[in-house]
Amino acid sequence: MHFFRKTVGKPLVVMAIILATLLSLELAGQIVWKKQNGECLFFKNNMQNEIFIEHPYLVGVPKPSVSIKSKDNYSFSHNSLGYRGKDIATQKAANIKRVVTLGGSSTYCAGVSDNATWPYFLEEYLGKDWEVINLGVPGYTTVENLIQTALNISKLSPDIALYYEGWNDLRNMPIENLKSDYSDFHGNSLYYTLQLDKPAVGKNITIVLCLQNLLRKLFYNETKREYRKVNPTATAFTPEIDQDALFLYRRNLKSIIVLCNSLNITPVMIPQVLNCYKLLKFRTLEWVKSG
């Protein structure tokens, strides 16, 4: 009996102490996270890192042939080509008119099921002679849509391309010396938007995330996936328009239109409705935080 206590009892006590310590640290971490973010990390829906994968040019793209349900019972499906919705043939049928939709989360329609996205409703409205393909990806701007237009959509032979643009490009205003490809801010932020930096296991556990951040600090190049430090322009938080960022936005839209015309695709630009109240509230909060 004494031998058993000595050889087995002590390790069990040590393990119990370690487990209790880890549980206490995790509880404290969850409390701090909820206080800072207004929600409990343990119940947070981190589904995005299950349905998006890294891409060498676009940072992240929808993972092909995946279908899952969120904790809120929303269904998300990507077909074999990596587009949201049902499977389609790459080659367009002779009697079908095809529409592709491009944009960010408001085109992908994050937060609703496949049968509640506006591209789905558009196809239902147009009828059986039309096909609508959802190429939207959360976080995408005119930069990613320009790449998609130049390299990806021609194989689908669409008749019309709808571009729902505005909000995500607006995030680049007002950044001092904004790079023409948005790479100094937006490109890095997409890793966070699509949650490509989250571990596959333990993504809702603060201890795992802290360990991951520590390893990144020690071994990773921080500028690869984290926000690079950017400075606001001199006219930030004023009514003055950031002309440099506006120029890049217009340039991207014009380039998209030229590409579409060269591919015999009719481009349709849909501006996103700007909620001035929300924008003013966001800028006020950022101004207060910056002192």
User: What pLDDT is attached to residue 219?
Assistant: 61
Interior angle at CA 136, CA 131 and CA 142, nearest 5 = 120
Q: What is the pLDDT of residue 287?
A: 47
**What pTM, to 2 d.p., does this model score?**
0.74
Give pLDDT, residue 229.
Answer: 72
**CA–CA separation, 152 and 147 (whole Å):** 8
Q: Furthest-apart CA pair in the chain: how many Å?
A: 86
Place of tokens 């079908």: 96
Q: Are 152 and 114 in contact (CB under 8 A)?
A: no
Walking along the chain (291 residues) 10 residues at a time, the average pLDDT comes out as 58 77 72 68 60 92 90 85 94 94 95 94 95 97 97 95 94 88 87 74 65 65 55 84 92 97 96 67 49 42
Q: On the CB side of 228, how many CA atoms lie within 13 Å of its CA? A: 17
Question: Which pLDDT value is given to residue 99?
Answer: 98
At residue 215, the pLDDT reads 66
E strand or H helix that includes residue 222 = helix 222-225
